[in-house]
Chains A and B, each alone.
Chain A
Amino acid sequence: MSEVKLFFGPQHPGMHGNASVHLYVEGDTVKKARLVPGMLHRGFEKSMENHTWMGNVALIPRVCVAEPDINEMVFAQGVEAIAEIDIPERAHYIRMIIMEMTRILAHMMSLGAISSPTGLYTVNHWMQADRNDMMDIFEEITGHRVYHMYIVPGGVRRELPPGIEKRILDYFTEFERRIPEYQALVFENPTILARLKDNILLPAEVVWELGVTGIGMRSAVGKPYDVRKVTPYARYDQVEFEVPVATYSDAYTRSIFKVIEIKESIRIIRQAFDMMPGGKVNVKMAAGNALKWTVPKGQTYSAVESARGEFGYYIVSDGKTQPYRIAVRGASFPQGFLGVERYMPGVRLDDAPLWYDTMGVCTPEIDR
């Protein structure tokens, strides 16, 4: 049978972001997959060198649309490390709340993305509706729904609005009530299970070979490698939470892990609100006005645990008002680039979007 070349993305309901994968298909089976980057390339890393340290706060969230705050967090942490800035205690807790909320948003997004490849659009509608309410909360805290530009070097940009704690906790109480409904809709659903169970495997060797982290790694090799646990940042060493692990990574495990992680995140947020002290929420990162802020000469690698694994920035400062160089370690780079080419071949054509989704790929962090 002859080979057919198909375009998966950049415009495709199953594609995450503006990536394009050229699929060479024989019958139902993908024989070859080629990632074609550049669909979204805006030269983020280069652009960062042309923006002031503060100006970058407006640029960097775009490096992962679904989970923008991780960029703010690694950037802020890195700058603070180079400039040796101690931020107020309260800011650490606020950051943790924001980071967990954004993790939940990202997990909801990718759980919702099961819908198009499986044909059950209700999942996505529900997830988007629930995300919408959380984005409203973000809008009240930060001023915006998607790009929050809230975690800044020195702390967070402004104090939490009054009454937000109740709004957030009420939201999660309601959301927890809905989890069994999601469970019933997705994970007890024989049609979906047929697509997830024992399908799209991620073997441990591949994890080691590519350098996959996050849920992919934890579900395959049984090791709780989570940046929040291994090199705790913010105040993750002060809160209790579990990191689920397994030794058999199929699409089902990777998906159900997201649900477990959402529950753990909610647990962290509740603890953070209980433990959060009062006081200031930021210190100025340097003397003078933001146009003149400089970071002393130095370099650092700063990392956080994103919804897809270890996400890091390597930041170099030459003492000026703009970074000298920033390199992004996109959490999904290993599986989303090399992984697509090496390990997507062999799946059925209709599983290609599921592969992309459950492996955890965020296009802009590859195509940065």
Chain B
Amino acid sequence: MEIKKDLFSPLKAWKYAFKTPVSFPMEDIKDRPRESQDNARGFHINDLSKCIGCGACAEICPTEAIVMVKRKDLEEKEGEHPERPTMDYGRCCFCAMCVDICTSGSLKMSKAYVLNTPDPQKLYVMPEESFPAPGGDILGYDKTPESDLLDLKRAEMPAVAGAQAKKSFVEILKGYSMEQARAEAARCIGCEICVKTCPANMHIPEYIDAVWQGDLAEGLAQMYKTNPLPGICGSICTHKCETVCAIGKRGEPVAIRWLKRYIVDNAPEAMYEEVLMAPVSKPGQGRVAVVGGGAAGLSASYYLRTMGYQVDLYEAKPLVGGVARYGVPAYRLPDERLNKDVELLEKIGVKFLVNTKVGQDITLDALHDQYDAVFLASGLPQSRALKLENGDHPDVRYAMPFLAAARDYQRGAGEMPDVAEKAVVIGGGNVAFDVARTILRLQQKKYGHSHVSLVSLETRDILPADLEEIEEGEAEGLRCHCGFGPQGIELFQGKIRGLNTVKCLSVFDEKRNFCPVFDPEQKGMIEGSQVYVAVGQMNEHTYFTPEHLERIALKGGKVQVDDWGQVKGAPWLFAGGDIVHGPDMIHGIADGHKAARGIDVYLQSRSETA
């Protein structure tokens, strides 16, 4: 290699002595540091009102620099923890993984990079909207869709398509495969925000983690700790947990309910039995009567039995299950799924006394005499009536008896209900959709085509029914007329021609009280020769005698109980489920669990004082 050597060459560097230096004086670094580049990963900033305290940032931090600190000024709210992240800048390596995973999107980084202090305590900072250092109010790094460390999209659930679905009562959702379930479970960050909102406080992150680990037995055990009816719940729970799920802040919430169903569907029978039997004690002294075989009654029976009580469950109908058996259509909850939950209860020794209506076949007082305690969970078997012109016409039907008849027909225990070729359903809740979609299927069977209109006061965006009900219903050809009030029933030659409606302008007043406002000018008629009313359910406490009612408080028809389900004025009597909290399956399950513990405490204390 040819090498040039020249003593004067290096002197060319002298020209730089006359140029502005690229470096800058030391004194400036602390107070007037050079501004970082865009995207700089400087000290954190966090919008504390948007942050939900989920702790995902702390979980991912590779240097364990984040501690979740409880804020006394924040109250316990649904959908968030009253904690906020605090960074230890003695540890933080500014990798920004916390930013990339932040569920709420509140955590970002500023351009500040100078924190100069002799006091190590000052290195602990709970970032707020601006960081107290130069550049701390300028946004540096924020996540982009590519850098997101969450998985915002749900694993797809295989389902029967709408046109096909309405031809039968076959269950629409097919359930996850193992790969799908594991992929879905891997979306959960284990923050427990959902647990607070679930009425039964189910151990959600634990059983989701069990799915992810492929440990079905652990998943089942976790579920049975708080919910003995996972089969039912896995299909039709109102999944309040999902509405608050942290992943739902920016994406689709974790499919908690479907994962529950996955465990139930896939755990082998023997494993099921083993897990379920594990906590069951031998029958002891106490005897408890449970009135009503719905979710609350079944749940109470399970926990009472595990605690060692003898349990007799009284059910008015031929089969236990309540709404799950006689209300919810089979395409949402097939009998087999329900049977599985119920059979296991029988196996652990709960005695079912069916076709026995308390208040008619046996009195409440008789139960009081024969048992140490009574749990009342008789549900809301009656449909709420609607005052309408010609509302007493025989072709005006009510939701609850219709759904029960349809369900009986599906299991071969009754005639097909006589649905007309064109029908109108009034109501906007899940029950109304159950009615409408059941009619669709029956029409399809009977006539080969279907025509059902659904009329609701609420507009589509505020319909109380679940979105999936609405979407599936529409896919099946349901005609939704949202935002109309029923006026009266139009008759022609003694037969129903249709439902007269007026436009509903608003449903609630400013205080969110039910107070519909109509525009009488905007009238219409929706055709149909049958009208089904599905505007709510009512209880039926025929078992309360006037003497009972002197002592027992009812408020708006609801039985008043304490935190443990104990009825005020009758210590031997506990109540729960729909008669206490209104219609909601998971609330019923939670009530059953609570009442079981309440009864246990009551009977223990009684035997101690005796």
Contacts and interface: CB of A to CB of B under 8 A. Distances in A.
Interface string A274-290: 00000011101011111
A289 B187 contact: yes
B146 A140 contact: no
A159 B39 CA distance: 12
A188 B4 contact: yes
A281 B146 contact: yes
Given A158-B147, A291-B60, A143 B186 contact: no
Interface in A271-316: 280-282, 284, 286-293
Interface in B1-23: 1, 3-7, 9-10, 12-13, 22-23
B141 A58 contact: no
B157 interface: no
Contacts of B63: 58
A85 to B, nearest CB: 15
Given A59-B62, A288-B183, A184 B41 contact: no
A289 B37 CA distance: 29
B96 A143 contact: yes
Interface in A298-336: none
B9 A157 contact: no
B67 interface: no
Interface string A85-112: 0000000000000000000000000000
Contacts of B38: 140, 161
Contacts of B4: 187-188
A223 interface: no
Interface string A18-60: 0000000000000000000000000000000001101111110
A193 interface: yes
A256 interface: yes
B146 A282 contact: yes
Given A55-B62, A253-B1, A149 B37 contact: no
B59 A149 contact: no
Contacts of A187: 3-4
A185 B101 CA distance: 49
A139 B146 contact: no
Given A158-B147, A161-B39, A184-B12, A57 B101 contact: no
Contacts of A157: 100, 146-147
Among A54, A143, A186, residue most surrounded by chain B Cβ atoms (within 10 Å): A143
A187 B1 CA distance: 12
Interface residues of A, number: 54
A58 B61 CA distance: 9
A137 B39 CA distance: 11
Interface of B is mostly: loop
Interface string B75-105: 0000000000000000001111100110000
B149 interface: yes
A147 interface: yes
B245 to A, nearest CB: 12
Contacts of B6: 184, 188, 190
B182 interface: yes
A68 to B, nearest CB: 12
B1 A139 contact: no
A132 interface: yes
A237 interface: no
A149 B63 CA distance: 14
A287 B1 contact: no
Contact of A185 (B12, B39, B97, B188): B12
Given A144-B41, A287-B186, A54 B97 contact: yes
Contacts of B62: 51-52, 55-56, 58-59
Nearest to A282: B146
Given A54-B60, A188-B4, A143 B40 contact: yes
Contacts of A161: 38-39
A189 B10 contact: yes
B218 to A, nearest CB: 16
Contacts of A51: 62
A252 B40 CA distance: 38
Contact of A193 (B5, B36, B93, B185): B5
A358 interface: no
B7 A190 contact: yes
A129 B187 CA distance: 45
Contacts of A139: 36-37, 39-40
Interface of A: 51-52, 54-59, 120, 122, 126, 129, 132, 136-137, 139-144, 147, 149, 155, 157-159, 161, 181, 184-190, 193, 197, 246, 252-253, 256, 280-282, 284, 286-293
14 contacts: A52-B60, A58-B62, A129-B23, A139-B37, A139-B39, A143-B39, A143-B94, A143-B141, A184-B6, A197-B3, A288-B212, A289-B150, A289-B188, A290-B60
Interface of B: 1, 3-7, 9-10, 12-13, 22-23, 36-41, 56, 59-60, 62-63, 93-97, 100-101, 109, 140-141, 144, 146-147, 149-151, 155, 182-183, 185-190, 212, 247
